[in-house]
Amino acid sequence: MTSAQLEIQLIASLVAIACAIPGTFLVLRKMAMISDAISHSILPGIVVGFFITQDLNSPLLILLAALTGVLTVVLVEKIQQTKLVKEDTAIGLVFPALFSIGVIMIAKYANDVHLDIDAVLLGELAFTPFDRVFYNGIDFGPKSLWVIAVILLVTLTLLLLFYKELKMSTFDAGLATSLGFSPAIIHYGLMSVASITTVGAFDAVGAILVVALMIAPAATAYLLTTNLTKMIILACFFGVFSAIAGYWCANYLDASIAGSIATVLGLVFFAVYLFAPHKGLIAVLYREKQQRIEVSLITFILHLKNHKEVEERHVNHLSEHINWQKVRSKTVLDLALKNNFVSIENSIISLTEKGNEFTTKAIDYILTNEDVQIEDMKKDFFLFRG
Amino acid sequence: MEKIAVKVDDLTVAYNYKPVLWDIDLQIPEGVLMAIVGPNGAGKSTLIKAILGILKPIAGSVTIFGKPYATQRKHVAYVPQKGSVDWDFPTTALDVVMMGTYGSLGWIKRPGPNEKKRALEALEKVGMLSFKSRQISQLSGGQQQRIFLARALVQDASIYFMDEPFQGVDATTEVAIINILKELRKANKTVVVVHHDLQTVPEYFDWVTFLNVKKIATGPVKDTFNDDNLTKTYGINYKVSIQK
Amino acid sequence: MEILEYIRLVFSDYTLRTITLGTAVLGGVTGMLGSFAVLRKQSLLGDAISHAALPGIALAFLITGSKDTNVLLIGALISGLIGTFWISGITSKTHLKSDTALGLILSVFFGFGMLLLTFIQKQPNANQAGLDKYLFGQAATLVESDVWLMSIVTGLCLLVLLLFWKEFKILLFDQDYAQTLGFNTKFIDILITSFIVLAIVLGLQTVGVVLMSAMLLAPAAAARQWTNSLSVMVLLAAVLGASAGVFGTAISSTQNNLSTGPVIVLVASVFVLFSFIFSPKRGLLFRQIKLIKNRNDLEFQKTLTFMYHIVENHEDVYHPHAIKILNNFQGYSRKGLQKLISKNYVRVNGEMWSLTPEGIAAVADMYNQNLKND
């Protein structure tokens, strides 16, 4: 591994962490598409900044572009307030317009300078080691590394300082306001951090892949935990993992590093989406099947308790009246028998003592709907699952 | 014996496998004005939606005049909650009411002059004829509710299901709705209303169903609407002064 | 190039005619279908679909080795649909919200597409030049068969729209109600979504994946401001979309180095801005004027009421009072007084004012109005 390769991976990893932190909050606040809007609409800010500074890594350019990002958020909110269009339409109107302006400016005026569309969409991670900081003739490493390190440092500091406020305003905006934390300050603070990070990362990974680095790790982490601290750490881990794995994939295929990182992010998400222990697709489908049977069982024994009449308790009634198909009726009946909830005599089903007790509990749970009782019920369910 | 308009058997509905309605048996005789009452989250709207097939129950069956609901749609009209639609939708009051004729038209066929006439009559019945070309967002909440009512009237059904028609309406609208209800009863139609205001139950309705996940009680208001059932439905010692 | 010269060329020059027709047809069909996307609150779905189509284009090229537009668009259609279904799979089976699902699919699919595109670029034998145009669109690459394809799809879309107009309308407004009337809402839903995906894919060559969603939204959002009728809105959106296409093409083809997509999108955005401000009923300008007028009316009424309160305790309500008293009232202004005089509600004699019978009647009228409104 050459030192350039090492530096690229280091930059990619730092970008991943810097994106994952604000990304987590955006996902939790249901504002993921705002990051898409910001990443597109900072383009005119970058172009103007580039005309002024002639340097993509200049702090002035980063601030200018980040300002465009925050302006986008404000513009979207202003349009929403007019009630002329719905919220998502407002987002969808603003960023293509600003992005178009940026693209046209590049095409018209920035032709001979080093700023082109490919760089805008994909970034040039592979070239970052060549643009280095020299001071008194000493090599201090790639410029991008310094830029993203500073941004990450600021993000981390803000995160640690305002962790409590961020957490509270994300999960309970009402409570946060009543305790005196202004939701607006937190909101715009977050938007500013997201904008600055987007601009800083933009140079390395490009506009659209910033979105991938913000949303995908957070979404993946959210499938595994609902604890905020764990979610942030997991998101950072997935980001860094994808950055490094993506780099080597790109190396092997001789293709875009950023595109490769996004692809790995997608694959990681897909794997977690399928196999996450509680919220993954397979777990959800399995649980739904279990629950379907459980609910059917309770429905059935509740029905028995409600009806003393013989004709309502006849075996055939199950498929005729309750409107279940043969197979389902049989599954449910077998389950009830296996757990000694019911007994059958001359095709008439009756509740047993245990079944009666269980039903009473079930009714209690349904009517009061307290969590404590759900737990009790669940334990009971495990009794007859096996 | 009186004819049964709606018969619900062993109906169980769950959202995400969380129970909301359990083993509901219900028989609604033809020609009654029935209120469904119960606390928030008792499953009142859910019951109506399950009867109408909008929600798929996990168990149970519904028959309308003795036949499965799917074959009896033309006998049933629905007034959804006002908040369930986007009132900024680009359409006029008349246009919304015309939607009531779509069911009888079936696929592809367009409404003609006859349908328009029926829609205008319904608008007149709810006192909204002068608002027929008004964009629906420029109507007051009560007027919007009356538009929904007119849309159901156009269906010329035998059974009407209304989801909280009195929710947040002005006095004029309340009177208009009550008049419509009375008229429907005179025509021997069956009306089922999800209702919130317990005070007005004895005044507006002749039949009542208490619902709280399970069916607590159902029957004529004079026999069923009592403190005992109210307490069972709403919890400990819930009492209202009942005007008899 | 002069404008007249350009217009002459549109009719005489084959290439220019083709691309102008192409962008017009495209703008028309996306405007039309965009109205449905906007009204269904699925504005950002188009963005996700168009980005998700990119890997399909690249894969179609990798598999077939063909650069035939139709082959590539079939690839785009397939991957766009996969993206759409995955989005609904994520939102229905996990607790992730739709915005997360949209952003995730959009960025990941696009990233994968870019990976494939850069991979193709590095292949020694494959001439990839031309796949790039799907990023921002290149109307100049449209040929007659592309325009035919667009026209056929547009015609088909129009036919379906006319046939199922009533069903579309009721689904958009009140899905539950449509279901109780016996309509198969799932079928209508799939029909609309399929056409939206088809329109997006058709536009990729002209506008590109990055900006395609704006072609759906902008004409519809602009059209919504001018009308309260669904049919007029759809029609107007089609016209605005087509105009954006024609103007955008005209501008980009007369300038060097401009992709078509961004210019068309910018033209459409100008339409939106204009509509937001100047639409006669909903527009911001109109609203501001109305606001000022209401405030003036209110001040006028308040001044009159204040005067009435001063005189009402007097035996003679027409008895004159000093103008100085009015200075105690915040809403009072010389202009307001002038207006009252011009309406003949108030008479002024030197430094004294008095109410006229018309003025008293006006106050009584106002009270009755207020009572009625309560």
What residues in C contact B103, CB-CB < 8 Å?
180-183
C89-115 confidence digits (pLDDT tens): 999 888 899 999 999 999 999 999 989
- Establish how many alpha carbons lie within 13 A of residue C72's alpha carbon, considering only the half-sphere containing its beta carbon: 24
What does the pLDDT read at residue C216? 92
Is the model's pTM score more than 0.90?
A: no
Do A100 and C284 count as a contact with CB atoms less than 8 A apart?
A: no
Q: Which CATH number fits domain A282-384: 1.20.1250.20, 3.30.1280.10, 3.40.50.970, 1.10.10.10?
A: 1.10.10.10
Per-residue DSSP letter, A127? G
Write phi, then psi, for C333 (nearest 5 degrees). -150, 155
Counted across chains A and B, CB pairs separated by less than 8 A come out at: 52
Q: What percent of chain A has pLDDT over 90?
A: 33
The CA distance from B73 to the nearest CA of chain A, in Å, is 19
Q: Is the pLDDT of residue B43 over 80?
A: yes
pLDDT band at residue A38 using 50, 70 and 90 as cut-offs: very high
ipTM above 0.85, yes or no: yes
C267 CB neighbours in chain A (<8 A) are none
Residue C331 confidence class, pLDDT cut points 50, 70, 90: low
Please give the pLDDT value at position C245. Answer: 93
Which CATH number describes the domain made up of A3-279? 1.10.3470.10
**Of residues C9 and A27, which shows the higher confidence score?**
A27
Q: How far is C362 from chain B (nearest CA, A)?
A: 26
In the three-class reduction of DSSP (H, G, I as helix; E, B as strand; rest coil), residue B192 is classed as strand
Least confident of A302-316, B110-124, B214-228, C111-125: A302-316
Q: Which residue has the higher pLDDT, A307 or C296?
A: C296
B3 SS3 class: coil
* Residue C374 reports pLDDT greater than 50: no
Q: Which residues of A touch C38 (CB under 8 A)?
A: 85-86, 89
Q: Where, residue-wise, is CATH 1.10.10.10 in chain A?
A: 282-384
- What are the structure tokens assigned to C145, written together? 């068969």
Give the whole-angstrom CA distance, residue A385 versus residue B140.
54
Assess B227–A contact: CB distance below 8 Å, yes or no: no
pLDDT for the residue numbered A384? 44
Calculate mean pLDDT across residues A232-252.
95
Burial state string for C226-256 with b = 16 or more CB within 10 A and e = fewer than 16: bbbebeebbbbbbbbbbbbbbbbbbbbbeee
| C-alpha span between C327 and C346 (Å, rounded) | 16
Q: Given CB atoms, is C211 within the 8 Å cutoff of chain A?
A: yes
* Residue C330 pLDDT exceeds 70: no
Token duo for residue B176: 């208009």
CA C1/CA C6 separation, integer angstroms: 7
Averaging pLDDT over each range in A163-177, B213-227, C80-94, which range is the top one? Answer: C80-94
β-bridge mates for residue B92, sequence order: B135
The residue-averaged pLDDT of C65-90 equals 90
The pLDDT tens digits of the residues spanning A39-80 come to 988 889 888 888 888 777 778 888 888 999 999 999 999 998
Residue of A nearest to C98 (CA): A30
Task: Indicate whether C256 pLDDT > 80.
Answer: no
Q: Which residue in B8, B16, B22, B26 has the most chain A C-beta atoms within 10 A of its own C-beta, making it the best mutation to test that interface? A: B22
Query: What share of chain B has pLDDT > 90, as a percent?
Result: 30
Q: Which domains does chain C have, with CATH numbers?
A: 3-279 (1.10.3470.10), 285-366 (1.10.10)
Alpha helices by DSSP H, chain C: 3-12, 14-39, 45-52, 54-64, 69-93, 98-122, 133-136, 144-163, 165-173, 175-180, 185-207, 212-224, 230-254, 260-278, 284-311, 334-342, 357-373
**β-pair type (A138-142, A132-135):** antiparallel
The identity of residue A157, as a single letter, is T
Share of chain B above pLDDT 70, in %: 95
Which of A321-330, B68-77, C323-332 is predicted with the least confidence, judged by mean pLDDT? A321-330
Question: CB of C353 within 8 A of CB of C346?
Answer: yes
Q: How many CB atoms lie within 10 A of CB B157?
A: 22
What is the spatial distance between Cα C147 and Cα C131, in angstroms, rounded to a whole number? 19
Question: Largest alpha-carbon pair distance within chain B?
Answer: 56
Phi, psi of B89 (to 5 degrees): -60, 135
**pLDDT, tens only, A271-302:** 999 999 888 899 888 888 877 777 777 777 77
Query: Tokens for C361?
Result: 């009647």
Tell me what pLDDT residue A326 has.
64
- What is the rounded distance in angstroms from the CA atom of residue A153 to the CA atom of residue A121? 25
pLDDT digit string, tens, across residues C275-298? 999 988 888 888 888 888 888 888
Q: Which residues of C touch B135 (CB under 8 A)?
A: 228
Q: How far is CA B194 from the centre of its chain?
A: 6
At C311 the three-state DSSP class reads helix
Is the pLDDT reported for residue B239 higher than 70? no
- pLDDT of amino acid B212: 85
Which pLDDT value is given to residue B243?
42
The burial of B216, by beta-carbon neighbours within 10 Å (0-12 exposed, 13-18 middle, 19 or more buried), is given as: buried
Judge whether residue A382 has pLDDT over 80: no
Q: Can you name the residues that pair with B14 across neighbouring β-strands?
A: B19
Higher pLDDT, B101 or A372: B101
Token pair in block for residue B26: 């219900």
Instruction: Kindly report the backbone phi and psi dihedral angles of residue B113, in degrees, each rounded to the nearest multiple of 5, phi listed first.
Output: -60, -35
- Compute the average pLDDT of residues A1-26: 91
Which two structure tokens, joined as six digits, stand for C287? 């609203």
Task: Please answer yes or no on whether B102 and C166 come within 8 Å at the CB atom.
Answer: yes
Interface test with A, best of C115, C224, C266 (most A CBs within 10 A): C115
Does the pLDDT value for residue C336 go beyond 50?
yes
What element of type H or E holds A86? none
Q: What residue spans in chain A does CATH classification 1.10.3470.10 cover?
A: 3-279
What is the nearest CA distance from C277 to chain A, expressed in angstroms? 10
Length of chain A: 386
Nearest CA in chain C to A253: C119
- B16 falls in which pLDDT band (50, 70, 90)? low
Among candidate residues A4, A9, A7, the one with its CA nearest the CA of residue A243 = A9
C103 part of contact set with chain A, CB < 8 Å:
yes
* Phi, psi angles (nearest 5°) of residue A133: -95, 125
Neighbours of chain B (3+ CB pairs under 8 A): A, C
C24-60 residue pLDDT tens: 999 999 999 999 999 988 889 999 999 999 999 999 9
Give residues 101 to 160 of B whose Cβ lies within 8 Å of C. Answer: 102-103, 105-111, 135, 151
